[in-house]
Amino acid sequence: MPCNDSSSSMSIRLDHCDRLVKFDYAKITCGREINGDTKYSQYCQGKNLEEVLEIRFTDLVRTLNVSDEESQFILYLEWDAVRSAIAQYLGLESEEIDRDRCRISSIEYGEEGVEINQVILPPKSLPKILPCNLASQNN
């Protein structure tokens, strides 16, 4: 069962055109580190920031065929953190995006692009976990 007594960190890398190159996510919980290995970073690779913001969680679960509860939980944490970081980086306001939970600690501009580092507080609410039969449907 997913727990919400965790801290997380994320590093997001963008190219000079503000397209997502990749992100690295790490969650500390129950005395062990969990790295996001949900294929979400690869799915977002090359998309501009607005495209990433438009991705709905339920569509993402189906597209990536994530069926077990723990993997959906980690995917949700990644999805929520990426959206929060992008919204902060772009200066956007939206009720759908939890800007208070994500704390950008640094933004570095370099020859290879932009790196956004952040600390992520536990979510206020947990995602709706989809049953296996719905998660595997590609609608």
114: in domain: yes
pLDDT at 3: 52
- In this structure, how many other beta carbons lie within 10 angstroms of the beta carbon of residue 22? 12
pLDDT at 124: 64
139: in domain: no
pLDDT at 1: 40
Contacts of 29 (CB under 8 A, 6+ apart): 3, 5, 6
- CATH code for the domain of 101: 3.90.1010
138: in domain: no
Q: What's the number of domains the chain is made of?
A: 1
Q: How far from the centroid of its chain's Cα atoms is residue 116's Cα?
A: 13
Percent of the chain with pLDDT over 70: 74
- 8 Å CB contact between 60 and 79: yes
Range of the domain at 120: 7-130
85: in domain: yes
62: in domain: yes
103: in domain: yes
| Confidence (pTM) | 0.77
Query: Where would I find the H helices in 5-139?
Result: 40-44, 49-54, 57-64, 69-90, 132-135
Residue with tokens 């507080």: 121
**Closest-CA residue to 135 (of 78, 61, 81):** 61
- 8 Å CB contact between 53 and 83: yes
20: in domain: yes
124: in domain: yes
pLDDT tens-place string over residues 68-126: 888 888 888 889 889 989 998 999 888 877 777 778 899 999 999 999 999 887 766 65
